[in-house]
Structures are given as C-alpha cells and as structure tokens.
Amino acid sequence: MPAAPFDYEAPATLADALDLLRERGEDARPLAGGQSLVPLLTLRLARPRLVVDLDRLHELRAVRRTPGALEVGALVRHRALERGEGLLALCPLLQEAAALIGNARVRALGTVGGSVAHADPAAELPAVLRALDGAVVLRSARGERVVDAGDFFVGMLTTALAPGELLTAVRLPLPSPGAGFAVEEFSRRAGDFAVVAAVAVVELDGGAVARARVALAGVGPVPARLDRLEAALRGERLESGAIRRAVAERPLEIDPEGDIHASAEYRRHLAAVLTARALERAAEAAGRAIV
C-alpha cells in the first residue's frame, strides 16, 4: 500500500526545522533514518501531513565529550556506534548494543535519535540509556530541556517528546574506567528485534560490587531497571555462582505480558537467564580491568 499523501521538507538548519515543527504541530513528523517511520507510513499507521527530513542537519551528527559524559547527536547512525568511531569508543557498551540491532542495512541507516524517539519496548539503545542513567536533550522553538531517561520513556512507542520538539542528542554518563559492560539478548532469528535483552554495567571495588546496574528491554512497555537486585548486589563478593544465586533468590521486579512472540512466563524466564549472564560477563570484564 502506498503511504497517504504528505508534504516533504528538508530544512538546512536546526532553527528552520524547529520553526516548521512549531508551525505544523501534530501534523508534522521528523524523519531520521526512516527504518521505523517509513514502514509506519506505508502501512498507514502514521499519516502525517508533513514529513520533516532531518538529514541536512549536520549539527545533529556531532559526538562530544563533556565532563563525565558523552553527548551523542541524534543523527549518529547505529553503524558508527557499532564501529566505535572517534569518541564513541569511550563507551564500549554502545558498540556491543548497536551490533545487535537489526541487520547491516538497518544499522547503516538507523539513528540514535530515531531509535530513542521511536521507543520500541524491545530496542537496545533505550535500555542502554536507562542502564547508564542517561538523559535526552530536547529542543523546540521555545528552547531546550533535558529529560532523564527514566522520565522520557512513558509507554509503548510513547515518550515525553511534545509536538514541535526534536530530540537533538542523548547524554550518557561514562562509568568509572574499570567498569565492565555486557548486553545479552535472545531473538528468534538473526536480525530480528530481541524478545528480551539485558544490559548490565558493573563497577567493582576490591573484588566486591561497588555498583551494579541492569536494564531490560522486552519485559514491559518501557525499559525496566532492576533496583532491588542492584541494591542486593552492592557489596557482594563475586565468588563463582554468587550472581546466579542473587538473581534466582528474588523474583525480578518486572511484569511482562505475553504476545505472539513469547508468553509472559517465557519472557520472565528469559529475563532471569539473560540478567544473570549479562551481570556475570560485566563483572568478569570489570575484574579484568582491575587486574
């Protein structure tokens, strides 16, 4: 089915793009890599009157190091993350997560901002943002605001973005240099979205866990953080099996629903297995970094 008719603009500056979005409000939809929006248009699940192509906004391709954080422009493509180009190498978690997104074509075109704004519950990058306690930078003709990832994802494919706003960058606080990272996921076929994905970040202090963070995708409408498990792991010495025991001893604070891809029970099972695997691998990496 062809898309419903729409107007198309490709503004040359961010100011022009924000003016267009302000003028046209809910009738306008930004276009980044098109990997999610184009299927929505052709299926007529989205029927904007105006598509605002962001491709000429080169300022949204910048990656900056700020004190303690990395700011990644909205138009940086998954492929650049996967390759760890330039400053992106400072956050190896991005490399590991991006390599799991779709296939080579999707990674060549899809963007950080598109993935985070689209907010698919099974997507890797929103979970990475949650695991790192990241934030998003939102700009409109009225100015800029910064929203924590925990407040940005509000429901399935729904975020705190208001009409007229563009996501211009994500801010990722960089964990301590010895931190270990891991992403573990299960998908039915190579290139599919994950059924469940687990992102873990572990920082050690003298062989004990100083801080462990876990975010899950695919277990609810928004990426979930496992606060109770994270608190239980603090101070734990990581002898063999300690993480698996900690995960097995307490039900994970998630409430997944079943769908055509997996039952609720299966998602819960996957969440526990993948959480333990991701934490173990992240702890091992942190241990190696300390040695």
Ligand X SMILES: Cc1cc2nc3c(=O)[nH]c(=O)nc-3n(C[C@H](O)[C@H](O)[C@H](O)COP(=O)(O)OP(=O)(O)OC[C@H]3O[C@@H](n4cnc5c(N)ncnc54)[C@H](O)[C@@H]3O)c2cc1C
Q: Which stretch binds ligand X (CB under 6 A): 148-156, 159-167, 249-257, 281-289?
A: 159-167
Residues numbered 222 to 281 that lie near ligand X (CB under 6 A) are none
- In angstroms, the CA 19 to CA 25 distance is 10
Contact with ligand X (CB under 6 A) among 114, 134, 164, 175: 114
Other CB atoms within a 10 A radius of the CB of residue 130 amount to 24
| CA separation for the pair 115, 36 (Å, rounded) | 8
Write the binding mask 170 to 199 for ligand X: x where contact by CB under 6 A, - elsewhere.
-----------------------x------
Phi, psi of 192 (to 5 degrees): -75, 160
How many residues bind ligand X (CB under 6 A)? The answer is 30
CA distance 34 to 168: 16
What span, in angstroms and rounded, lies between the C-alpha atoms of 11 and 27? 16
| Position among 29, 225, 268, 281 found at the interface with ligand X (CB under 6 A) | 29
CA–CA dist 72, 61 (Å, integer): 8
In angstroms, the CA 93 to CA 225 distance is 16
Q: Which of 16, 34, 61, 147 touches ligand X (CB under 6 A)?
A: 34
Range 74-113, binding ligand X (CB under 6 A): 74, 101-102, 106, 109-111, 113
Closer CB to ligand X, residue 89 or residue 157? 157
From 166, 179, 222, 286, residue interacting with ligand X (rule: CB under 6 A) = 166
Told to check if 127 binds ligand X by CB under 6 A, we report no
Binding flag, residue 31, ligand X (CB under 6 A)? yes
226-250: string of b/e by CB count within 10 Å (b at 16+)? Answer: beebbebbeeeebeeebbbebbeee
Restricted to residues 57-76, the positions that interact with ligand X (CB under 6 A) are 74
- Contact pick of 17, 69, 91, 123 for ligand X (by CB under 6 A): 123
Nearest to 19 by CA among 210, 181, 166: 166
Contact with ligand X (CB under 6 A) among 161, 179, 270, 279: 161
What SS3 state is found at 177? coil
Near ligand X by CB under 6 A: residue from 124, 184, 230, 280: 124
**Which residue in the set 36, 94, 135, 285 belongs to the binding site for ligand X (CB under 6 A)?**
36
Q: How far is the CB of 20 from ligand X (least distance, A)?
A: 13
Estimate the crossing angle of helix 242-249 against helix 264-290, to 10 degrees.
150
Return all residues near 205 (Cβ < 8 A) that are at least 6 apart: none
User: Distance between CA 148 and CA 135 in Å, rounded?
Assistant: 4
Choosing from 11, 30, 73, 223, the residue that interacts with ligand X (CB under 6 A) is 30
Q: How far is the CB of 108 from ligand X (least distance, A)?
A: 10
Q: Which is nearer to ligand X, 71 or 124 (CB)?
A: 124
**Binding-site ranges for ligand X (CB under 6 A):** 29-37, 54, 74, 101-102, 106, 109-111, 113-115, 117-118, 120, 123-125, 161, 166-167, 193
